[in-house]
Structure 1
């Protein structure tokens, strides 16, 4: 099998991969609009309790807001209920070269995405009639220079019981602790149940053929390390799972995620529901009883930030899996680690990608050498194969047997030229996901006109150079293809790849371009060595 046919094979695999992504997007559409499922337990923001059959009023954000500032987060909290209705990521721009910061949580007319938590039950402060109004000693709280932690308490008193909700922000950390301290100074026991949930509009999961990103729910439970649960899934069936130890409930999008991590004393319930065109995913704690004259604390952690794998893994088991590398995670994960390690030395993600490419192609050099050697031996056998076809005629079984005997005698593996190319595709696809899911590459500059490796090349220079390098590889590779149709297909292949890569992230195109350049270098060296052995001819 000559190199042109090998290129055709890898191209067909590549196109099949892209068509699969498109098919998956088409056959798993996400809901749009504001449909309401019949399976929703009730309307409103308070999760189901003992009185879930009663109607609820839809709570809106009040005008009493407070703001919490750390070095990486700016949170806006509604004192009615104590929900986080806005989360601004101070280290990330909304768009490339924008003065505005990225908003992960928001409460806008066209997009609601908020983190809610509260206390329900007989003595809870979040009821079917409304939510409690907390009081604070200010409206704007900032982490001072040299301060590693910011604690902002909010209080409400009801029937002799003091409820204190405290937000705890830590320097350099996107994990926000939310504590409820219940001081029961009444003369009877108080029974409450804590919940924490994320609310967002039902929407399409987003993405495109070349950028198949996901927006929707995800969770981790006892028997499931990580599983997506889309808005479509939420409308079809409500989740009702038990978390006895590690677990979390999240809503994720490209590069960013919000997740509640419960710290319940006992089994927690993980649930989803939909109501009034909005989806909910959250956790409900077991019921807690506070005896008269005693104090109890319940808490949860909210991750609200970028998909930083090390920090997420330190925050909760399996939370780092929201960086979704797909079924090739076992290749993509070490590639990302290696890429990040290289970046730690060179300080430029584009240069890190180039070095990574040389490492990957260098590791594959023995296979590449075997590929071209096998191709050369196959070309040497072409006259014998032609004579064999003429002698045997249409007897395919005999032809196959004698061909295998010839290969065995000459010690030639007819598939030897395909293996390196077949291995390249999983690596390419894994690197595709590694680069797609790496928030570190978001708005990361390379040099000159490439100022965002996560976006397509604005001037299409890299895709055009990549196409040209493919054309050179074809020209350097000798061919035994005589069929005019096959020749046209092979000539058109670089053009097809170039068109595909016009919309690919610049970082991925850079990898493929450098990979082609390395291939050209390796081809030249290997062919020179083969010519000395008399195994190679370009004629």
Structure 2
């Protein structure tokens, strides 16, 4: 197989890959995964039925709101229920060059996305009559410059029981601890059950053919490290699972995620619901009994922020998997680590991408050399193969036997040009995902006109340069293709790639362009070496 056909194969694999990932993002996940995941059947008791439908479909907001500020988060809390109805990320702009901060959680008419939590059960504060209204000492709370932690308590006393809901924000962290302290001052035991859920409009999965991204739910259990559960899945079937530890539920979008992480010490129930155009994904703690005259605390964590892998990994097991690298995560994750390490040295993500490309292509140089060497040897055998076809005619069995005999005699592997290419493709695809999922590239400048590596090149310079470099790769590669249709496809391939890359993020196009430049350099060096050995290219 010569290089022209290799490029055709790359093109077909690339287009197939883009179609596949776009299809994969817009179709439902398959089964719930392997392992002993229990299906939880809901009982007909009041606490669970409240959680399922009647209680938490309220969208109205009270007039009693408080604001909590850390160095990276600004949260708006409704004291009725203590729900987080707005979350601004202080270090991320809404749009490129915008002064407005990115808002992940919001209570808008067009996009409703909130994080709710509360207490149900016989002595729960959330009932059919409405959500509990907490009291606070102020309406604005801010992390002091000389402090690393901010604790904001919301309190309520009802029927002899004091409930305290505490929001704990730490400096530089997007993990917000949401804890309950319940002090039972009555002469009878109290029974409560905590829930925490994310509620959002039922939206499209999001993304496009050139930028396939996921917008929907996800969860983790003891037996399933990470699984998406889209809005379509929620509408088709309610999720009812149980996990003992290390579980969480989330709603994701490109670069950002909100997630509830329970710390129950026992079985936690994961569920989804839909109602009136909204989807819920949440967790329920086991029922807790508080003895008379005693106090207990229930702990949970709300992650609300960007997909920062190191922080998420420290917050909850497998939460970093929401940075979705697909099935090649075991390659993409080390590549992202290497990219971040290089950035720590050069302090420019564009230059880091360039250096990473050189490192990756350098590491694959032995494969590239083997590929071109095999192609050169195959070209040398073309005259003999042509003579063989003319001599043997249509006897395919004899032709196959004599070809294999010739390959063995000349020590040529007819698939030698294909195997290195096939081995390289997973690395290319993994690097594609690593770059696409990196929130660090969002609104990040490179040089000159490229001021956002996560957005397309505004002047299409990089895609055009990529197409030109691909054209020169073709020109430098001798071809034995004689079929007119294949020749036309090969001629059109750089144009097709250029059109695709017009809408790709500049960081991805930069990687592909630099990769082509490295290919041209390697191709030139390898051909010169082969010519010295007598393996001349037939231009």
TM-score by length of structure 1 reads: 0.95
1:50-129 equivalence runs, <5 A: 55-56=54-55, 58-129=58-129
Indicate the RMSD between aligned Cα atoms, in angstroms: 1.9
Question: 1:184 and 1:294, CA in 2 relative to 1: closer, same or farther beyond 3 A?
Answer: same
Which residue pairs with 2:266 in the alignment? 266
For residue 320 of structure 1, report the CA deviation from its aligned partner: 0.3
Does the 8 Å CA contact 2:83/2:117 hold for their aligned counterparts?
A: yes
For 1:345 and 1:130, the matched residues in 2 are separated by 55
Structure 2 CA distance, aligned partners of 1:315 and 1:236?
31
Listed one character per residue, the Cα deviations across residues 140-189 of structure 1 (whole Å, up to 9, x for unaligned) are: 00001121000000101101111111100000000000111111112222
1-side partners of 2:505 and 2:174: how far apart? 27
1:534 aligns with 534
Q: Which residue of 2 aligns with 1:37?
A: none
| Structure 1 partner of 2:254 | 254
Q: Distance in 2 between matches of 1:300 and 1:527?
A: 62
| 1:289-338 deviation digits (Å, cap 9, x = unpaired) | 11121111111000000000000000000000000001111111111111
Q: Deviations over 1:314-370 (max 9, x none)?
A: 000000000000111111111111111111111111101101111111111111111
Is the counterpart of residue 177 in structure 1 residue 182 in structure 2? no
Residues 152-231 of structure 1 aligned to structure 2 (within 5 Å): 152-231=152-231
Q: Which residue of 2 aligns with 1:415?
A: 415
Three-state SS of the structure 2 residue aligned to 1:85 is strand
CA shift in 2, pair 1:14/1:54, >3 Å: closer
Unaligned runs of 5+ in 2: 30-40
Change in CA separation of 1:52 and 1:409 when aligned onto 2, cut-off 3 Å: closer
Following the alignment from structure 2 to structure 1, what is the Cα–Cα distance between the partners of residues 511 and 493? Answer: 19
Q: Partners of 1:143 and 1:402 in 2: how far apart?
A: 80
Partner of 2:38: none
Superposed CA offset, 1:504-523 (max 9, x none): 11111111111111111111
Question: In the alignment, which residue of structure 1 is the partner of 2:351?
Answer: 351
Contact 2:190 2:290 in 1 (8 A): yes
SS in 2 for 1:479: coil
Partner Cα separation in structure 2 for residue 537 and residue 295 of structure 1:
83
| Partner SS for 1:224 | coil
How far apart, CA to CA, are the structure 2 residues paired with 1:23 and 1:264? 37
User: Which whole-Å CA distance do the structure 1 matches of 2:42 and 2:293 have between them?
Assistant: 35
Change in 2 beyond 3 A, CA 1:48/1:233? farther
1:243 aligns with 2:243: yes
Contact 1:265 1:286 in 2 (8 A): no
CA change 1:520–1:261 in 2 (3 A) is same
Give, in whole Å, the separation in 2 of the partners of 1:51 and 1:421. 57
How many residues matched? 526
After superposition, residues 99-498 of structure 1 pair within 5 angstroms as: 99-498=99-498
SS of equivalent to 1:130: coil
- Whole-angstrom CA distance in 1 between matches of 2:87 and 2:293: 37
Cα separation, partners in 2 of 1:341 and 1:273, compared to 1, 3 Å: same
What's the CA shift string for 1:82-141, capped at 9, x where partnerless?
000000000000011110000000000111100001011111101111011111010000
Alignment CA distance shift 1:329-1:50 (3 Å): closer
Gaps of 5+ in 1: 30-39
State the 1:527 CA deviation.
1.0
Query: Contact (CA 8 Å) 1:14, 1:425: kept in 2 or not?
Result: no
Please, what TM-score do these two structures have when normalized by structure 2? 0.95
Classify 1:295/1:26 alpha carbon distance in 2 versus 1 (closer, same or farther; 3 Å).
closer
Q: Is the 8 A contact 1:179 1:300 kept in 2?
A: yes
* 1:49 matched residue in structure 2: 48
